[in-house]
Every structure is written in C-alpha cells, then in structure tokens.
Amino acid sequence: MSELFDAVDALIAGHAPLPPPEERERLRKAHGLTQEQVATALKVRRATVVSWENGKTEPRPPQRDAYARLLDRLAELYPATPATPTASPQPAEPAPQAVAGPAPQAPASQPSAPQPSAPQAPAVTTDDDTSVPTTAPDVPGPAGAASPTASRRPAAKKATPRPAAASAVSDPRFANGPLAVVDIVNEQASAYCVGGLVLDVPAKSLPALVDWTLNEAKLGAPRLSGNGKDADPLIVLTPAACERYGLPVRLSDEERTSGRLPEGHKIIKQLTRADWQLTRRGFGPWARIYRPAQGGKRACVQLCIPSWNALDARSWGSAGQLPAAELAHLLGTYATRVMTPRGSTAVTGLELMTALHPPTRASEPDADGRRHSGHNPGSLGKEPVDCAPCEAPDGHPLLAHLPRFHQRTPAEMLMEEAYDWARPLTDDECAKRYVVGIDVNMAFAAAANGTTVGLGAPTHVKNPTFDPKLPGSWLVDLSHIELDERLPSPFTPTGRRPEGPAWYATPTVAYAVELGHQVAPLEAYVRYENGRYLDGWYNRLRDAYMATMADLGVTSTLSPAGFLAAMEGYRRTDPHMAIVLTAVKATVKGGIGKLRERPRGEGWKPGRPWRALARPTWRPDIRAAVISKARTNMHRKMLKLADATGQYPLAVLSDCAVYPSDGPGPLDFLPYKDDKPLPGGFRLGVSPGMVKHEGTQTTLWAESIHEEHGQDENLARYIKDGHVTHTDNGN
C-alpha cells in the first residue's frame, strides 16, 4: 500500500505548480543561497537557474521535482509577508491547438524588440548562392491550428508574451515567430521560439523536421516590402539536435575547408529520397532546403548550425554557446529588428537591401486579367550590371588585358577607402596630459542615409561638367587644393595630398566644390538611373541599433555627460542585448563590404569571373559612394572643430579620431556650451553620426608608441585599451 501512496505523492509532485518566478528568487535570497549554489545542487548550469527565476524557461524532470522540493522547504521557513505578495500560480488556459507557454514579461533591463514597421521578406539571391531559385514563390503557412503534437509547455503563471514576437502575431501563418532553436532534452525534441514559447517536435528525421517546420510549426515572418517574399522559417540546431538528426556535431577539417558536407553524405541522400533539394552552396553551416515551386507555393527552410561556426564569434560573440531558450530570444530579437538571418551578418546586411527593394513587382492585369513580373522601380533589378573599369578591383575580367603584375595608379583605379592617417605631435601637444579617442556611431550607416547612388549601368562621358547630384566616378585633378597639414586630406584614404588626376566618387568631388574649389573632370562614368536606394536600409538598421542601445540603458534623451556616464560598462547591462548590438553593427559594415566582395577560393584565377559578380548587388560603385561620404563627413567635422578651437587630430582610423587634451574625456576638448555642441562639429550622443568616447591614454603613452614604431604609427588603432597588437605597415 505504501508503494501506491509513494506513487501518488510522486504524481502530485510532478504536476504541482511552481511558485511564480519572482517568488522563486525571493525564497532563494531569503536563505542566502546563490544561483550558483542552487545550480550545483540540481546539477544544471547557473544560466538555467537564472532562466527559471526570470521566467524564460521552466524546469523539467528530474530537476523539476527537486527544485519544487527546495522551494516548498524554503516557503515553510520563509513564509510570504503582506509586503511580499505571492499570488498563486495559475495554469495556462488550454486552447484547441496549444497551451500557453512560459512567456513572462521581459525584465526592465532587457526590453524586448518592438513590432517592426513593415513586414519582412528574404531577398531573392545571396552572395553565397544560398537562396532558393527565384521561380519558387511564397508558400502560405497553415491557417488552421497546429498539430496536437506541437504543444506549448505549461506555464507557471499567466504572462504577457514578449513583444519580440509581435511581428508574427499579426499574421496567423507565422504565429510562433520567425525562428526556433531545436534542442534535445531527456530524449524529447523541443523547438524554442521567441517569447518563451516551446513546441514539441515530433519529427524523427531531418526530412520530417523540414516537413514539420513548413506544415505545423507556423514559423516565418511577413515580407518587408509589398513586392517581396515572406521570410522562410529558420531552424537552429543545437549539438544535441545535430546528433538526433544524423548530422555531425563538428565538421571535419576537409568539410570545414569546403564549407559543406560531401555530396555522398547519408543526410543528403536522405533529403534527396524525400524530394528535397539543396542550393548550390550545399549542406553547410547555413543550409537552405527547398522543393521547386508547385501550384504557386514556396517551400523552403533554412538551417543554422552554430557548432559548425554558423554564428561567427566576431559578429555573434558567445551566442553559439547559449542555452536554446536564450539563443532563441537573442536571434529572435535580431530577426524582429533587422530580418531573419540569411547567413553571416554581412550576407544578411546585403539581403536586407534586396528585401526592402525587391527586383521585380507584379504588373497591372493584362487583357486576360493576368499579372506578370516586371522591373520594380528603385531596385537594382534582377540582372547584374558591369561596373566601370576604374571601379573594378584587381583581377576583374574587365582588366584581363592588363599585364599580370601591373600596379594600377589612382588615375586608373577608384580608391575610395576609409581613413588610415597619423601625424607626429607638436611641442604644444606634447605638453597636454592625454590623448583622447572619439568614434562615430554607425558611420557607414549614417553615410548611406540620403546618398544618391546609381541603380543601373554606367555611361562613359568625356570632359563632363561635374554635377554633385549625379552618382558616378570622376577622373579629376584635385592636387592643387591646399589644406592645413595638421588635417588629413579629404581626398585620399592615406590623408596625403593627391599627386595628380585620380578617380573619385561623387561625394568626394562634391566636397571639393563645397570647400570653394574649381573642378574640371577629364572623364566620368555616371549613372543617370539613380535613387536613394539605401535610405530604407539605413532606417531599418538605425531603428534596430537605437532600440538595442535603449535596452542597454543608452537613449537619445541623455545629456552629453549623462550619455558618457551611461556608456561606461553599458554592455554589461544585458550581455545578450550587447551581442545583438554587435551583430547589428556588423550587419552594417558587412553589408557595405559585400557590395564589392572579392573571390574566396573557388579555384579562381585573375581575369576570370567569380561567383559574387553574378549578383545584382555586386556594386562597387555604391560601396565607394558610401565610404566616400563617410570620409568627407569626418573631414567636415574635423575642419569645423579646427576652425572654431584650433584643435587638430593626431590620428584618424576609419571612424575614430584621436585628439590631444588637457583632460581625460571628450568634454575636455569638444566645445560644448549649455550642453549645446559646435554646429556642424562632433556631437556626443547615441544616434548614428554622433560620437562616443573610444578611449583615453596618456601623452607619454603616445610618445612611446611613436618612439618605438615610428611617427606614422596610427594611435587610433590602439587608443581603446592601449595595447599594441601589431605595428602599422600601411595596409
């Protein structure tokens, strides 16, 4: 009989509701226990206990019973007082298709993503050729209820879902958000979605997982543009999930070098037997699995495998090592604010451009009432266009006629790059105590905003009249322009004065005109079809950046001093949002860089085309225009500061400038009056284009760097932490 009683007790314990998350934390602290001590006793990670206490996840057997016992004993020792209410946990109300999952409100220090202003779509092609053929249109998600096997975990109490999932809630096809992280716990496959939602995954094989994702999971995101396509669902596989579905946890050296599984791998054969196909990139860290369009429906799932280095640490930090629920929240925030990742942050940055400006749109109905696909005005179109010869990087097919080791000059090659310039300190500057670095926030994004760029092919013109509103590349002699040598030249990335005619993008020549100089181009490659193609891209990434900075406690309402104070250790406020911030910034720089992607392996030889050239978004002229504007923006602010205060930079590296200062902070040399900055100069603040404090070192440090490595060593490269990792070789 006692065995029956024990069984009943165990049954009750296994289903008894746990106290709400805030009560769990109160009880632990009342007994003086740390989260680490609880984690050690229950044989879980500290991060797991953190998730239990903030309501992100709920404990599962066997830890659940032990955790419930601990909380019960602590509740007996430390009963709630009237000042510490303990509302009884309420089980979620059942629904026909699911049970409300654990989706508590986000902590105050970790606001969730806002609802995007426009629906989301994947771009048509990627530079990695990972996209589905463009003939595959959208596949609407299931409008009905989810499968009974796709249930949500019961919640400890009713809770408001995180706003991060709001973008999908408005579209029932994507009710469960843009993505899910699939993990295996106690031999059960679970899909962790945004908002704390957890779905049971019945699939026992990879083809079945793809089927489940498309037909039952209700994952994906609505298009960003009315002419675009809905975002395909993203499934992230943990190492345990890789093992469950027959994938290696790690790639072999050979597989890592090729970036994919071999064609004969059993998983690829398994997918082929189920009539699934892979894109030309094969089965790599970001694999796309699809079927050709049938009946006007699109069927495609993207996989992300962090243990195969899908989440590069340079952009995603330690995201790949996070527990499934935390990774789902992090990636879901990025997906909601930017777009569902399509590969690296660089790939996603490029894809975002196309998602906002799809190459085609449906025409008006013809006489038979049919619509046809036609060019979408304002986009780059479906087909790539050749660049101008001066815009082509070395090895491009347009330069195949050049001798093999020919070194092109500025008169032959457009060299719009970011600053890398430095100069020696003067005697007066050596008398100051510090050197202080300031850094422009999202400099390339700010430069992209409002910039008119070419949309079509270039037109060659001899002896043209310069038009600052006409994007293109101009051969013009600016060597006659004299500027203060304490400032870098705005016309070259090295900051040295030009030595003769050279090719420049429109913003550089326009700045020369702005400075009051005459220009007489010898020839040009101009683009009469043009527009502000990057404005929407900038707006999307600006909003993502600002929302994430607000999560980290840095807002646009702060005073200059308040901003500097908020920036001290702001990344420690919420390490997960700090990772999202890094990813957003990497999306900007990587996206601009991909506009002139160089060959990578592929057995490429100079003079032969490489894969990226087949993309409409391979546009070195657009990259050049953005970098040109970023550099001239930087020079304009430095010139304003010099004219107003007589202060000149010691070094400039891309978007960072180093100044001598009597004090250790930016407010010690930037001219502010009643919290008002110098008009047209550097302005402290969080918005793109404003500046933040990059780092401070002593003047003695700066002199020692110059003594050891030379007067041209760029102090901006090391100003952040003072550690010299390598010498500046001019590259």
Same domain, 73 and 222: no
**343, 368, 385 - which closes a domain:** 343
pLDDT for the residue numbered 18: 86
Percentage with pLDDT > 70 across the chain: 83
CA-nearest of 603, 588, 609, 605 to 392 is 609
Same domain, 328 and 213: yes
pLDDT band at 602 (very low <50, low <70, confident <90, very high): low
pLDDT band at 6 (very low <50, low <70, confident <90, very high): low
Domain count, the chain: 2
pLDDT of residue 583 exceeding 60: yes
Same domain, 182 and 286: yes
pTM for the whole structure: 0.78
Of 566 and 65, the one with more pLDDT: 566
Same domain, 63 and 170: no
| Residue 613 in domain | no
Same domain, 168 and 49: no
Q: Which residues neighbour 392 within 8 Å (Cβ) at sequence distance 6 or greater?
A: 398, 399, 620
Nearest-angstrom CA–CA distance, 537 and 526: 23
Mean per-residue pLDDT, 185-199: 94
pLDDT band at 60 (very low <50, low <70, confident <90, very high): confident
Do the bridges between strand 472-477 and strand 501-505 make them parallel or antiparallel, or are there none, so unpaired? antiparallel
pLDDT of residue 677 exceeding 50: yes
Contact between 721 and 464 under an 8 Å Cβ cutoff? The reply is no
Same domain, 34 and 179: no
Q: What are the C-alpha distances in Å from 642 to residues 483, 486, 636, 646, 678?
A: 12, 9, 10, 5, 11
| Residue 662 in domain | no
pLDDT band at 227 (very low <50, low <70, confident <90, very high): confident
**343, 359, 394 - which closes a domain:** 343
Same domain, 211 and 306: yes
Among 49-63, 239-253, 425-439, 633-647, which is the least confidently predicted range? 49-63
pLDDT of residue 320 exceeding 80: yes
Same domain, 325 and 177: yes
pLDDT of residue 143 exceeding 50: no
Same domain, 312 and 167: yes
Of 524 and 154, the one with more pLDDT: 524
Of 142 and 204, the one with more pLDDT: 204
pLDDT band at 354 (very low <50, low <70, confident <90, very high): very high
pLDDT for the residue numbered 136: 35
pLDDT band at 7 (very low <50, low <70, confident <90, very high): low
Percentage with pLDDT > 90 across the chain: 67
**Nearest 5 degrees, angle CA 461-CA 464-CA 465?**
150
| Residue 518 in domain | no
| Residue 622 in domain | no
Same domain, 180 and 280: yes
| Residue 262 in domain | yes
Tens digit of each residue's pLDDT (9 = 90 or more) over 266-285: 999 999 999 999 998 899 99
pLDDT of residue 159 exceeding 60: no
pLDDT band at 89 (very low <50, low <70, confident <90, very high): very low
| Residue 192 in domain | yes
pLDDT band at 380 (very low <50, low <70, confident <90, very high): very high
Same domain, 52 and 174: no
Tens digit of each residue's pLDDT (9 = 90 or more) over 494-525: 999 999 999 999 999 999 999 999 999 999 99
pLDDT for the residue numbered 142: 34
pLDDT of residue 468 exceeding 60: yes
Nearest-angstrom CA–CA distance, 432 and 646: 14
pLDDT of residue 98 exceeding 70: no
Structure tokens of 76?
A: 């007996």
Nearest-angstrom CA–CA distance, 222 and 122: 9
pLDDT for the residue numbered 322: 96
pLDDT of residue 5 exceeding 80: no
Same domain, 54 and 167: no
pLDDT of residue 180 exceeding 50: yes
| Residue 134 in domain | no
Mean per-residue pLDDT, 531-553: 97
CATH of the domain at 66: 1.10.260.40
Mean per-residue pLDDT, 194-223: 95
Mean pLDDT computed over every residue of the chain? 85
Nearest-angstrom CA–CA distance, 486 and 650: 8
pLDDT for the residue numbered 40: 82
**319, 343, 367 - which closes a domain:** 343
Of 554 and 370, the one with more pLDDT: 554
Helix (H, G, I), strand (E, B) or coil at 375: strand
pLDDT band at 377 (very low <50, low <70, confident <90, very high): very high
CA dihedral 166, 534, 681, 699 (to 10 degrees): 80
324: containing domain: 163-343
| Residue 494 in domain | no
- Tokens 């543009």, residue? 225
Burial call 124-159: b when 16+ CB within 10 Å, e when fewer: bbbbbebbbeeebebbebbeeebbeebbbbbbbbeb
pLDDT for the residue numbered 492: 97
Among 23-32, 368-377, 557-566, which is the least confidently predicted range? 368-377
